[in-house]
Amino acid sequence: MPSTNIAVTIIGSGNVAYQLAPALKNCGYFIENIVARNTKTGKALAKKVGAKYTNSISEIKDAGIVIIAVKDDAIADVVKQLPPLKKAMVIHTSGATDIDVLSKFKHSGVLWQVQTIQARSKVDFKKVPLIIEANNSVSKKQLKQLANSLSNLVYELNSEQRRVLHLGAVFVNNFPNHLYVLVEELLKKHKLPFEIYAPLILSTAQNGIDNPRQAQTGPANRNDKKTMSNHLALLDDKTMKKIYKLLSESISSKNLKI
Amino acid sequence: MPSTNIAVTIIGSGNVAYQLAPALKNCGYFIENIVARNTKTGKALAKKVGAKYTNSISEIKDAGIVIIAVKDDAIADVVKQLPPLKKAMVIHTSGATDIDVLSKFKHSGVLWQVQTIQARSKVDFKKVPLIIEANNSVSKKQLKQLANSLSNLVYELNSEQRRVLHLGAVFVNNFPNHLYVLVEELLKKHKLPFEIYAPLILSTAQNGIDNPRQAQTGPANRNDKKTMSNHLALLDDKTMKKIYKLLSESISSKNLKI
């Protein structure tokens, strides 16, 4: 284990905090404090990484790195409670939140992971894309070092680019997953097992990553009106009908060669 | 290599024919003829599996298994050209086409693979779900044997169930892929690399297969109106705005617990 001797305070004990704290410890950072309102998860995480637990944000010392790993809408409130730190680098971990929310600190940054962090699952940080942004050259150097020690996929982007990336993540994560939810319900009605799609879903992801334009197939892509009208006739659900129509029109309008 | 001594004629030389012919040969079937209008691909496939090439559908003998592996809208025409076979089992490979299209033959069946078959890529048929349907007990026995020799995932479904499954495949394959296409364009505008999403897309697929309801996250799922309105403000594209709104509304309406 390498050692950096840099002390880290993590505010929060949710999924991101639970993934980051041990990962940083493994990279040689000294996890000094876990600050959390939730006593149970806070103490558990502190114990896991050999840190002190506290629920008092105002006691945080002005040194090392302070990571705000709380829900997006709680960041501003945490910032308000923190003293105006001049030496510590304060970073948040939100994809949708501007770096400006941290403007009261001298050194600030953002560390956002482009990955769904499920509850307590094991994450190989080396393969998780990390998006970083810093407010000055001192914090940039420190943040780069931290990010590079965690992952092999570090991207330095500004707040606007990160916002676009956060928006795109909704289209490649939240929306496809919702389509799975809808289809699972449809199949249940017809007593069909959703697992039947497992190989198709995985190959769709892989082919889409490789080249989504080339991977586009289906009735809308070949403008096969007969199949599309048969499909629509099969759908009882009004919302699924709307989704089918809108996405099919959008596919047809792209006019990708088959 | 096991041997069945059953002669197989394949009509077509597209992607499905190119995958099926060698796979069946490996299972011990004797690929006797490749019948195709496209001389080049037809001859190449015939050579690959040691079969005879012909472009004459009417010459097909009444024996063994005849597989119609052509585009959906060409099946009826092929059936019209075929003699009214009484001994051979005639099967088509379409997910969207009823078994009734083969009613002129005594023994008929459907063999549909729930997988995207890309051009000349290597497919491990053992892991491809195969949907089968047969018109009588004789063809059912023969089709089951064929399907089970190809894959470990064989499902016997009727035409209506298969239609639902084909419709669902549009939602879990064509639509997610289209979302990737849209996002790739969005990222290009902002000079961001699409590859940044590779781990997210793969984990979305895997988590969705495991339990899509549990895997649902994002602003719409937590009814985070501020983030949704920020996202909409970032989108120039009218169609993407519509898709964002419709899918977000649909996600919110499901009211899945976070």
Domain ranges of chain B: 7-157, 163-254
Classify domain B7-157 at the CATH superfamily level: NAD(P)-binding Rossmann-like Domain (3.40.50.720)
pLDDT of residue B145: 96
Q: Which residues contact B99 (CB under 8 A, 6 or more apart)?
A: B108, B109, B110, B133, B134, B135, B159
Structure tokens at B169: 């495949």
**CA–CA separation, B182 and B241 (whole Å):** 11
Give the gap in angstroms from C-alpha B188 to the nearest C-alpha of chain A: 11
The DSSP code for A190 is T
User: Which residue of chain A comes nearest to B94, CA vs CA?
Assistant: A227
Provide, rounded to the nearest whole percent, the portion of chain A with pLDDT above 70: 96
Cα torsion at B90, B95, B99, B105 (round to 10°)? -20
Integer-rounded Cα Rg, in Å, for chain A is 23
Q: Please spell the DSSP secondary structure of A30-69, one letter per residue.
A: EEEEEE-S-HHHHHHHHHHHT-EEE--GGG--SSSEEEE-
The DSSP code for A170 is I
Give the gap in angstroms from C-alpha B232 to the nearest C-alpha of chain A: 9
E strand residue ranges, chain B: 7-11, 30-35, 52-54, 65-68, 89-92, 107-113, 130-134, 154-156
A226 alpha-carbon distance from chain centroid: 40
Query: Which residues of chain B does A177 touch, with a Cβ-Cβ cutoff of 8 Å?
Result: 204, 207-208, 212, 215-217
Contact A209 B202 (CB under 8 A): yes
Which amino acid, one-letter code, is at B258?
I
CATH code of the region A163-254:
1.10.1040.20
Give the gap in angstroms from C-alpha B62 to the nearest C-alpha of chain A: 31
User: Which residue of chain A comes nearest to B229, CA vs CA?
Assistant: A167
B:21-60 residues touching chain A, CB 8 A cutoff? none
- Region A113-117: mean pLDDT is 88
**CA–CA separation, B184 and B177 (whole Å):** 10
Query: How many separate helices (H) and strands (E) can be counted in chain B?
Result: 10, 8
Give the gap in angstroms from C-alpha A187 to the nearest C-alpha of chain B: 7
Contact B176 A204 (CB under 8 A): yes
Query: Which residues of chain A does B235 touch, with a Cβ-Cβ cutoff of 8 Å?
Result: 167
List the single residue in A96, A166, A220 with the smallest CB-CB distance to B174.
A220
Instruction: Please say whether the beta carbons of A125 and A90 come within 8 A.
Output: no
Per-residue pLDDT tens over the stretch B130-159:
999 999 999 999 999 999 999 999 999 998
Tell me phi and psi for residue B172, to 5 degrees: -100, -10
Q: How confident is the model at residue B124 (pLDDT cuts 50, 70, 90)?
A: confident
Please tell me if residue A164 touches chain B, with a CB cutoff of 8 Å. yes
User: Which residue of chain B comes nearest to A183, CA vs CA?
Assistant: B168
List the single residue in A164, A179, A254 with the smallest CB-CB distance to B192.
A164
Structure tokens at A79: 């910032």
The pTM of this model reads 0.92
Integer-rounded Cα Rg, in Å, for chain B is 23
ipTM above 0.85, yes or no: yes
Per-residue pLDDT tens over the stretch A160-218:
899 999 999 999 999 999 999 999 999 999 999 999 999 999 999 999 999 999 999 99
Contact A127 B199 (CB under 8 A): yes
3-state secondary structure B72-139: HHHHHHHHHHCCCCCCCEEEECCCCCCHHHHCCCCEEEEEEECCCCCCCCCCCHHHCCEEEEECCHHH
Structure tokens at B145: 């044997």
Please tell me if residue B116 touches chain A, with a CB cutoff of 8 Å. yes
Per-residue pLDDT tens over the stretch A27-61:
999 999 999 999 999 999 999 999 999 999 988 99
pLDDT of residue B26: 93
